[in-house]
Amino acid sequence: MNPPEQWASAFPFLTPEAIALMEQLPPLYAEWNAQINVISRKDQDGIWVRHIMHSLCLGGIMPHRPGLLVLDVGTGGGFPGIPLAIAFPNIHFTLVDSIGKKIKVVQAIVDALGLSNVTALHARAESVQGPFDVVVTRAVASAATLRSWVRHGWSKNPNAAIYALKGGDLHEELSGIKAKLFPISDVLSGEFYETNTWFVFRPNRKDVARFSENETEIKRGSKRMDPLFFMARMLLSP
């Protein structure tokens, strides 16, 4: 469970304090996973690549303004919320899951790390009251379902958005939704990132300037999809 060499260099927003906390995650999850299975045995061995670094990819594109309110929908064992909360201590994260034993593990790890910017809730996403500025999630539900779950709790922030890590062919799922795609492999290298993850994103003007070289837009009825693997951000407005 040792981290890949120079892993933190891919995430320039991490402070030395955040890196030190991040390196406490594998033994904490190993201890809890022996009691409550929140991560598959295979994924436990690959926790750095499949969970910690995977979650941190969102940190490279989501806003970092202090005081933002972020909702992690279907957090499971605490991903992507816990790594992001470590990375951004001035942002408040609400981590939600409908399975109580998973939230028990999340709360235990939050307590062990002393994270004061995390609220763990045993609840269904659609019942959580906002407002929230940002929603993050990993492979939880379809884009349309995500939007229906969180629309009622959305803030009036015009830049509010969903940032979702997801795999598979998203053509049908995103038909009619204004979204842009960017390869996660631009951030991290390795087989897992080339074959399992999508990056869907609807940028504002500043983001367009940053990502324009790599963007691929999904259009209704389009048969073309390249590159193959991405992460997603969708504005909640129709």
Q: Which is nearest to 232 in space by CA: 219, 213, 218?
A: 218
Task: Indicate the pTM of the whole model.
Answer: 0.80
Element (H, E) at 70: strand 69-73
Burial call 59-78: b when 16+ CB within 10 Å, e when fewer: bbbbbeeeebbbbbbbbbbb
- Is there a cis peptide before residue 27, judged by omega within 30 degrees of 0? no
- What is the Cα–Cα distance from 161 to 202, expressed in whole angstroms? 8
What tens digit of pLDDT does each residue of 131-175 get?
888 888 886 676 667 776 766 666 666 667 788 887 666 666 666
Q: Residue 168: its pLDDT value, please?
A: 65
- 8 backbone dihedrals φ, ψ, rounded to 5°: -70, -20
Query: CA-based diameter of the chain, in Å?
Result: 49
Comparing CA positions, the residue from 189, 168, 176 lying closest to residue 218 is 176
Please write the tens of the pLDDT for every residue from 35-65. 988 887 767 778 998 899 989 988 887 888 9
Domain boundaries, the chain: 12-234
CA distance 220 to 5: 42
Q: By three-state DSSP, how is residue 125 classified? A: helix
Selected from 1.10.3720.10, 3.40.1260.10, 3.40.50.150, 1.10.10.60, the CATH number assigned to the domain covering 12-234 reads: 3.40.50.150
For residue 113, which of 71, 92, 91, 82 has the smallest C-alpha distance? Answer: 82
Reported as a single tens digit per residue, the pLDDT across 197-213 is 444 443 333 333 232 23
pLDDT digits 0-9 by tens, 95-130: 999 999 999 999 999 999 999 999 999 998 888 887
pLDDT band at 66; cut points 50, 70, 90? very high
- Average of pLDDT values for 1-6? 75
- Tell me the β-bridge partners of 135: 71, 162
Phi, psi of 160, deg, nearest 5: -60, 140
Residue 74 has pLDDT above 70, yes or no: yes
